[in-house]
């Protein structure tokens, strides 16, 4: 019974194909439609992926033309100037082919075959699939070309040597597209792909050795090169490990910049604004699932014994209390409890108590708003105190909040405050 109907169907299809092929010569525009559509879809996907990778974050100067490069990235190895990646043929990547782009993203090689410096995170981008790389390239090709010549890198000798770079690569660069772990869910794998690949979270959230190489793909936290900010560990319970958070809360923090208990600040606020808030709900969830799996679970032994406080230390801490009452209490509360979703709590806040006091000191010095995002378009903020109170008062108050209300952290000196200044602005 089935056979004849199949034949009939085949017959209909043949007729349809015949009719379409008859129309082809008449209307080449209509015939080109499917491929144009798929190209538009590829460009759209590329735009989304370029956001996820925050290409714009580095390849745009403050207030400059998007993707036209020119931003200075300061490292211990010299000053790198990001290139123009708009399709301008003279000053951008107008002459590049899909293959050239793949060579750069996947192998860290320039169009002329030279080795690229890992300040361009090809060490992470190598995990990106060819299909995604091609989509990003198609998107970049679709941009309006911008003629903008950027100054050359100022690399400190001997790091300007390609042979040294070759050695570095041999040692530290592992080429290869992300390979899914079949023992884990599809969602977890997607999150891993986004975090370790395009998202290149590793570029900041990892300690680097003296040669500037990330310590494998563990997101164990580290000071961000050239920024005077500390990117906390995404594993440790004492830093920003999210093992005890719900997936929803992680996703909310990363897509809106704020939750009841936490706000993003410094470079992370910028990443949320420029990149993470644009991730689809599904991708953001995948990222959250993966990050949650990285985080340590709270262990019983983690309740630390607090040694009795020497008299000298409690006297030093007491200096901070009046400063807190005068300048901080109004928003953060009498007991450092904060206001959910508006002003973060300081009691029990791991970014206050973690080993590096850098971020807390900088928040006091420079203040800041949480990022304006679709989910939190009119953020509240913290005033800068660099003009209001002196370094020793900042040292007192930071020491105080690191040790009040059950918090426990090292003391901060006025020298620590002074050495936390400075940035790219």
Partner 1 sequence: MKFIVFILLAMGSGLINAQEPVSPLVPDTLEQRVKPCTICHGDEDRAGRDAYYPRIAGKPAGYLFNQLRNFRDGRRYYQAMAILLENLSDEYLLEIAHYFSSLKYPYPEAAANTLSPEETQTVETLIHSGDPERDIPACSACHGKALMGVKPFIPSLLGLPHAYVAAQFGGWRNGGSMRGQIPDCMSEIARKLSQEEVNALTVWLPAQPITAEPAETEILTTELTQRCQTTLSGEGFTR
Rounded to 10°, the helix 98-107/130-142 angle is: 120
Residue 383 CB, nearest approach to partner 1 (Å): 4
User: Which residue number, 272 or 404, has a Cβ lying nearer to partner 1?
Assistant: 272
Six token digits for residue 228 = 């005077």
User: Which residue number, 110 or 379, has a Cβ lying nearer to partner 1?
Assistant: 379
Six token digits for residue 190 = 């997607």
User: Which residue number, 130 or 390, has a Cβ lying nearer to partner 1?
Assistant: 390
- Separation of alpha carbons 111 and 95, rounded Å: 9
Burial status of residue 92 (CB atoms within 10 A of its CB: 0-12, 13-18, 19 or more): buried
The answer to the question of residue 22 lying near partner 1 (CB under 8 A) is no
- Separation of alpha carbons 213 and 203, rounded Å: 9
The answer to the question of residue 147 lying near partner 1 (CB under 8 A) is no
Which x/- pattern, by CB under 8 A, does the window 319-358 give for partner 1? ------------x-------xxxxx---------------
- State the Cα angle at 305 between 304 and 310, rounded to 5°: 125
| Interface segment toward partner 1; rule CB under 8 A; list 72-80, 117-125, 177-185, 264-272 | 264-272
Residue 190 CB, nearest approach to partner 1 (Å): 18
C-alpha closest to that of 410 among 419, 418, 401, 421: 401
Pair 409, 311: CB distance under 8 Å: no
The total of other beta-carbon atoms located within 10 Å of residue 424's CB is 11
- Separation of alpha carbons 134 and 88, rounded Å: 18
Single residue of 52, 235, 258, 287 touching partner 1 by CB under 8 A: 258
User: Which residue number, 149 or 410, has a Cβ lying nearer to partner 1?
Assistant: 149
The answer to the question of residue 425 lying near partner 1 (CB under 8 A) is yes
- State the Cα angle at 124 between 118 and 129, rounded to 5°: 130
Query: Residue 358: what are its φ and ψ, rounded to 5°?
Result: -50, -50
The answer to the question of residue 261 lying near partner 1 (CB under 8 A) is no
- Separation of alpha carbons 47 and 56, rounded Å: 11
User: Which residue number, 322 or 381, has a Cβ lying nearer to partner 1?
Assistant: 381
The answer to the question of residue 25 lying near partner 1 (CB under 8 A) is no
User: Which residue number, 158 or 330, has a Cβ lying nearer to partner 1?
Assistant: 330
Residue 13 CB, nearest approach to partner 1 (Å): 25
User: Which residue number, 97 or 335, has a Cβ lying nearer to partner 1?
Assistant: 335
Single residue of 120, 366, 396, 400 touching partner 1 by CB under 8 A: 366
The answer to the question of residue 39 lying near partner 1 (CB under 8 A) is no
Q: Which of residues 233-252 bind partner 1 (CB under 8 A)?
A: 252
Rounded to 10°, the helix 186-193/281-294 angle is: 90
User: Which residue number, 11 or 340, has a Cβ lying nearer to partner 1?
Assistant: 340
Which DSSP string do the residues of 1-60 spell out, in sequence order? -HHHHHHHHHHHHHHHHHHHHHHTTT-HHHHHHHHHHHHHHHHHHHHHHHHHTTHHHHSB
Q: Which of residues 59-118 bind partner 1 (CB under 8 A)?
A: 61-63
Which residues lie closer than 8 Å to 88 by C-beta, 6 or more apart?
94, 145, 146, 147, 148
Residue 316 CB, nearest approach to partner 1 (Å): 26
Six token digits for residue 308 = 């009795």
Pair 150, 69: CB distance under 8 Å: yes
Q: Which of residues 374-413 bind partner 1 (CB under 8 A)?
A: 374-388
User: Which residue number, 246 or 302, has a Cβ lying nearer to partner 1?
Assistant: 246
| Interface segment toward partner 1; rule CB under 8 A; list 200-208, 290-298, 312-320, 367-375 | 367-375
> Which residues are near partner 1 by CB under 8 A?
61-63, 252, 255-258, 260, 269-270, 272-273, 281, 331, 339-343, 366-372, 374-388, 423, 425
């Amino acid at each position: 019974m089935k056979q004849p109907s199949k034949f009939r169907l085949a017959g209909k299809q043949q007729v349809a194909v015949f009719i379409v092929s008859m129309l082809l010569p008449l209307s080449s525009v209509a015939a080109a439609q499917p491929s144009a559509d798929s190209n538009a879809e590829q460009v759209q996907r590329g735009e989304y992926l370029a956001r996820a990778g925050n290409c714009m974050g580095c390849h745009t100067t403050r207030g400059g033309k998007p993707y036209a490069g020119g931003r200075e990235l300061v490292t211990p190895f010299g000053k790198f100037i990001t290139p123009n990646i708009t399709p301008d043929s003279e000053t951008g990547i107008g002459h590049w082919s899909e293959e050239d782009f793949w060579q750069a993203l996947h192998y860290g090689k320039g169009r002329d075959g030279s080795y690229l410096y890992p300040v361009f995170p090809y060490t992470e981008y190598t995990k990106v699939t060819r299909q995604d790389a091609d989509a990003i390239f198609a998107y970049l090709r679709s941009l309006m070309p911008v003629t903008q010549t950027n100054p050359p890198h100022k690399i400190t000798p001997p790091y300007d040597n390609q042979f040294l770079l070759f050695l570095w690569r041999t040692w530290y660069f592992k080429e290869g597209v992300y390979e899914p772990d079949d023992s884990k869910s599809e969602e977890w794998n997607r999150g891993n792909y986004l975090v370790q690949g395009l998202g290149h979270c590793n570029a900041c959230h990892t300690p680097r050795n003296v040669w500037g190489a990330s310590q494998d793909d563990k997101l164990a936290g580290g000071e961000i090169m050239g920024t005077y900010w500390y990117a906390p560990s995404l594993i440790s319970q004492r830093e920003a490990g999210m093992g005890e958070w719900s997936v929803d809360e992680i996703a909310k923090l990363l897509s809106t910049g704020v939750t009841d208990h936490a706000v993003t600040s410094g470079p992370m606020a910028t990443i949320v604004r420029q990149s993470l808030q644009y991730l689809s709900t599904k991708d953001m969830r995948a990222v959250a699932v993966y990050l949650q799996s990285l985080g340590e679970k709270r262990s019983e032994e983690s309740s630390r014994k607090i040694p009795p406080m020497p008299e000298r230390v409690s006297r030093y801490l007491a200096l901070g209390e009046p400063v807190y009452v005068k300048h901080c209490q109004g928003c953060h509360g009498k007991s450092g409890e904060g206001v959910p979703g508006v002003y973060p709590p300081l009691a029990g806040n791991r970014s206050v108590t973690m080993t590096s006091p850098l971020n807390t000191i900088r928040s006091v010095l420079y203040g800041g708003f949480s990022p304006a995002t679709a989910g939190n378009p009119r953020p509240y903020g913290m005033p800068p105190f660099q003009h209001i109170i002196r370094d020793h008062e900042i040292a007192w108050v930071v020491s105080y909040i690191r040790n009040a209300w059950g918090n426990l952290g090292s003391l901060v000196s006025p020298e620590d405050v002074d050495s936390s200044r400075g940035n790219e602005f």
